[in-house]
Amino acid sequence: MKLQQIFIANLKKFRKEQGLSQMALSEMCDTTSNYIGQIEMGRRIPSFDKIEKIAAALKIVPGELFVEEAEERERRKPEINDYLQRMPAHIKKELISRLLTQIKADITASLDSKNK
């Protein structure tokens, strides 16, 4: 798969996973829904600045937009599992606590923005 196709597929996937329309994403990126639509159809290629804005709006690292998901996940699975197995219990507990705190904050922010 070509890099542009990977980018487009990931952009759509992350946008839809977060329940964002093209309009909502475009507002978060200070652009138009037409521009986001053209990117998703392969008619426009965003600048690095726009890619960074899109990634920030999607709350992901920009590089995630260019990774073929299944291949990357399978490639890194043993490495990640090994790392987690070796992690001390107190670090795992702290990690879980921080993740839960961040998830709660994200959900609250999402609910607050929908209620406005």
What is the reported pLDDT for 71?
Answer: 66
Burial class (CB in 10 A: 0-12, 13-18, 19+), 64: middle
What is the reported pLDDT for 115?
Answer: 74
What is the reported pLDDT for 68?
Answer: 81
Mean pLDDT by groups of 10 residues along the chain of 116 residues = 88 95 96 96 96 96 86 71 88 92 90 77
What is the reported pLDDT for 73?
Answer: 62
User: Length of the chain in residues, anyone?
Assistant: 116
Among candidates 19, 17, 35, 16, which has minimal Cα distance to 27?
35
- 3-state DSSP call for residue 35? helix
